[in-house]
Chain A
Amino acid sequence: MEQFIYYLKVSLISIRRAPLPYALTIFILSVGLGVFFANATFYYQLNSDPLPEKSDKLFFPMLNLVPYECSTDCRTPRVLSYSNVEKLSQTDIPSQAAAMYSADGYLRQRADQTPLPVSIRITQRDFFAMFDVPVLHGSIWPDNSARPEVILTKATAQKLFGKSDVVGEKLLLDDRNVTVSAVLDDWQMLPRLYDANNRNHLSEADDIYLPLETGYDMNYLSNSQSQTFDDTDYRQLSTQGRTGALHQLQYWVKLDTPAQQQAYRQFMTNLVQDEKAAGRHPSPPNNQLVAMRDIVSYFGGDSSDIKAFALVTLLFLLVCLFNASHLSLNRYLSNQYEFSLRRALGASRSQLQLQMLADVLIMALFTITGALLTGYGGIKLMNNLLPANRLFSDWDLTLLLGLLTVAVICSYLVTLYPSLRASFGSLNQQLKE
């Protein structure tokens, strides 16, 4: 140990000898790795499984149940109409099920206050159990019927009341009376796969939750995706929205066993057959039942620019690595005489390699610090540039360890090759002069 501390000291002394090229090496590596880190974070979060225990049990059913015949693009719509969901709900095969959409609204305590703009997830009771949403105070709605009760996130409760335990408090949601029935604990599913629209996977969770029936009663229209296949007046959502072909609902069911999944598929097939027979399904049947685990790849049509960007950052990292090892090689070559001297004084190759290990360690330390800072800055920058794809700067342990490993490997590559070249060069040459 004492000897290794000595090696570390020797490394530091040799850095002090030419600090500028060393700093430049670290800088280049940090920038390359930082950009890579930011992109890797993005990629990792986009592709991670937020509910690994149940992502193969949660399913997203889609039907081609629309009142017109498709001619060219017969892809099943991602969203369902209210009546579609009603029909899909008429079975007890799923252990849990929830339809949902999102809307914008304004919230305040009293009419004389400035309202707080909020994003509303309009959904059903099972949403919270299905997606493991933690409840801090109060309780979730007991059933799916309409009720003027909202569930707040902790942050929204804090913003409105300055405290989190606000169950029973009255609020005005777009100037209609609602009561707080529960407050959620901090929660963020990432990527936010339940919102299966392939765009907002990295955005924040909504501020408040409203029962689906109440949402329709209050004429809330979806703010992310809605399609009408008839002349439904969206201002008459409470009436026409429930019967017409306004498609805006995402629907999730929990199917615990393969048998249940098979049964539900059959149920969908039967449903579509009945609808066809009744003349309400003019298009060819194209039922889909996609597990949450596969939802990204199912909708993954537009991730090619993300892939291209990843490739560019990887190339950038390679260029940085190349430059850094070039700089590092120069540094070692100018120190080559010292390698020879140490050999002449009896240092074995393995002892010199320990010295290099100390070099690697110190370089890794600097590089990791630099790369984490640059990476963090890069993420902040990307968040500002692409607010729609808001990226979270959280690094979980797996990702962080992965990134650190990459940084150490890069430091190792940048140090190893040059130092090997310097230390295996002709031993005596420098000493003779």
Chain B
Amino acid sequence: MITLTNLSKIFRTELIETHALRDISLQINEGEFAALTGPSGSGKSTLLNILGTLEQFDDGDYQLDGKSVKGLSDAALSKLRNEKIGFIFQSFNLIKDFSIYDNIELPLRYRGLKPAQRKQRIEQALELVGLHARRSYLPSQLSGGQQQRVAIARAIAGQPRILLADEPTGNLDSLMARQVMELLEQINQQGCTILMVTHDPDQARRAGRHIQIIDGQLSDAVLYDPLAAQSA
């Protein structure tokens, strides 16, 4: 469903050029749960942002569902983001003076759904992440794990085809991280493609596929995967 061909990204500032991504070619299929690992600064977030159309790329091509996103208008890209892609961030990014319910409603608002449809989807999402009883709380009244579950509910409420998660458990303790991980697996089993950046080898192993990026370049995950070597 995602096809990258020779994709490159250069950040230019007045002083330096950073080759954040070089010549990335990658295919992610429908229903996959892929873990993206790599050292800090290797370009993981940049890749995720390009996949989420939040960032432009310089060379190469990115096709989503067989269609290149190159040259799409702002309105088209926004629609694509809104309908096909869900984001989960390390720092949750909930709006702090919106209730849980209102936070989850955000993407549905921009899609122009009818109130009844919005309500139904929000309730479903809340049910899935197990926070139905806290719908009118403010984010600050929830634990970190719960906040991330709200963020997940927000990401899936629009029923996206692909979920992009940038270190979703990076700010959580191991117990909460495991809950979040289980939740993501459950969502994946319902058919949603997931690409998740992680530093946790355990999580990388649990994902169906492991993609590694070093210095902006893909390296063969199987060859360099220390986990695979261990278990062998």
Q: B79 in the interface, Cβ–Cβ < 8 Å?
A: yes
Q: Tell whether, in the assembled complex, residue B95 and residue A345 are in contact, meaning their CB atoms are under 8 Å apart.
A: no
Cβ A345 vs Cβ B97 within 8 A? no
B65 proximal to A (CB < 8 A): no
State whether B74 touches A349 (Cβ < 8 A).
yes
Is A23 engaged at the interface, CB distance under 8 Å to the other chain? no
User: What residues of chain A lie closer than 8 Å to B106, measured between beta carbons?
Assistant: 342, 345
Q: How many residues of B contact A (CB 8 A)?
A: 30
Are B52 and A346 within 8 A (Cβ)?
no
Given A17-B97, A433-B91, are A345 and B110 also a contact pair (CB < 8 Å)? yes
Contact A432 B49 (CB under 8 A): yes
Chain A residues contacting B81 (CB-CB under 8 Å) are: 343-346
The answer to whether residues A348 and B74 also contact, given A17-B97, A342-B110, A428-B49 and a CB cut-off of 8 A, is: yes
Task: Tell which of B78, B89, B95 touches A343, judged by Cβ atoms closer than 8 Å.
Answer: B78
Contact A432 B45, beta carbon cutoff 8 Å: yes
Closest CB in chain A relative to B24 CB, distance in Å: 17
Minimum CB–CB distance from A432 to chain B (whole Å) comes to: 5
Q: Known contacts A13-B98, A338-B95, A428-B54; is A347 also within 8 Å of B49 by CB?
A: no
B107, CB-defined interface residue at 8 Å: yes
Q: How far is the CA of A432 from the CA of B54 in the complex (A)?
A: 11
Q: Which residues of A contact B85 (CB under 8 A)?
A: 346
CB distance from B89 to the nearest CB of A (A): 6
Q: Is B83 an interface residue (CB 8 A)?
A: yes
Q: Is B75 positioned at the interface, with any CB of A under 8 Å from its CB?
A: yes
Encoded as 1 (CB less than 8 Å from any B CB) or 0, chain A from 405 to 433 comes to 00000000000000000000001100111
Q: Are the CB atoms of B78 and A348 closer together than 8 Å?
A: yes
Chain A residues within an 8 Å CB radius of B89: 431
**Contact yes or no, A351 B97, CB < 8 A:** no
Bound form: Cα–Cα A433–B92 in Å? 10
Chain B 77-101 near chain A by CB (<8 Å), digits 1 or 0: 0110111010101010101011000
Q: Does A350 contact B (CB under 8 A)?
A: yes
Instruction: State in angstroms the CA–CA spacing of A350 and B45 once bound together.
Output: 27
Residues in A with CB closer than 8 Å to B158 are: 346
* Closest chain A residue, CB of each to CB of B111: A346
| Cross-chain contact B82 with A346 (CB below 8 angstroms) | yes
Q: Kindly identify which residue among B78, B93, B98 contacts A347, using a CB–CB cutoff of 8 Å.
A: B78
| Residues on A with beta carbons closer than 8 Å to the beta carbon of B83 | 346
Closest partner residue, chain B, to A340 (CB atom)? B54
Interface string of A267-296 (1 = CB under 8 A from B): 000000000000000000000000000000
Interface of A is mostly: helix
Which residues of B lie under 8 Å from residue A345 when comparing CB positions?
81-82, 87, 106-107, 110, 154
Q: Which residue in chain B gives the minimum CB-CB distance to A351?
A: B110
Instruction: Check: B205 CB closer than 8 A to any chain A CB.
Output: no
Cβ-defined contact, A427 with B55, below 8 A: yes
- Report Cα–Cα, A77/B37, bound state, in Å: 95
Contact (Cβ within 8 A) A351 B49: no
A347 surroundings in chain B (CB, below 8 A) = 78, 82, 110
Residue of A341, A344, A348, A431 ringed by the most chain B CB atoms within 10 A: A344
A176 within 8 A of B: no
Once A345-B107, A346-B79, A346-B82 are accepted as A-B contacts, the answer to whether A432 and B166 lie under 8 Å apart by CB is yes
Smallest CB-CB separation from B91: which chain A residue?
Answer: A433
8 Å CB interface, B178-208 against A: none
- Complex Cα spacing A337 to B111, Å: 21
Q: Quick one: closest A residue to B76, CB to CB? A: A348
Given A345-B107, A432-B45, A351 and B54 contact (CB-CB distance below 8 Å): no
Q: Which residues of B contact A343 (CB under 8 A)?
A: 54, 78, 81
Which residues B125-156 have CB closer than 8 A to chain A?
A: 154
Q: How far is the CB of B86 from chain A (nearest CB, A)?
A: 9
Distance, CA A132 to CA B65, complexed state (A): 78
Instruction: Say yes or no: is A2 at the interface (Cβ < 8 Å to chain B).
Output: yes
Taken together as a complex, chains A and B put the C-alpha atoms of A166 and B111 apart, in Å, by: 72
Whether A68 sits at the interface, judged by CB under 8 Å, is no
| B contact residues around A348 at 8 Å (CB) | 74-75, 78-79, 110
Is B95's CB under 8 angstroms from A3's CB?
no
For the complex, give the distance between the alpha carbons of A325 and B69 in Å: 36
Inter-chain contacts of B82 with A (CB < 8 A): 345-347
Closest CB of chain B to A420's CB: distance in Å? Answer: 14
Cross-chain contact of A344 among B52, B95, B97 (Cβ < 8 A): B52
Q: Which residue of A lies closest to B87 (CB)?
A: A344
Tell me how far the C-beta of A211 lies from the nearest C-beta in chain B, rounded to whole angstroms.
Answer: 74
B75 with A427: CB separation less than 8 A = no
- Report A45-87 residues with CB < 8 Å from chain B CB: none
Residues of A close to B66: CB separation below 8 A: none
| List of B residues within 8 angstroms of A427 by Cβ | 49, 54-55
B: residues with CB less than 8 A from A are 45, 49, 52, 54-55, 74-75, 78-79, 81-83, 85, 87, 89, 91, 93, 95, 97-98, 106-107, 109-112, 115, 154, 158, 166
Of the A-B pairs whose beta carbons lie under 8 Å apart in the complex, a sample of 13, sorted by A's number, is A3-B109, A6-B109, A341-B95, A342-B110, A345-B87, A346-B83, A346-B110, A348-B75, A348-B110, A349-B78, A428-B45, A431-B49, A431-B89
Q: A13-B97, A338-B95 are in contact. List 20 more A-B contacts (CB 8 A).
A: A3-B109, A341-B95, A343-B54, A344-B54, A344-B81, A345-B81, A345-B82, A346-B82, A346-B83, A349-B75, A349-B78, A427-B54, A428-B45, A428-B54, A431-B49, A431-B54, A431-B87, A431-B89, A432-B45, A433-B91
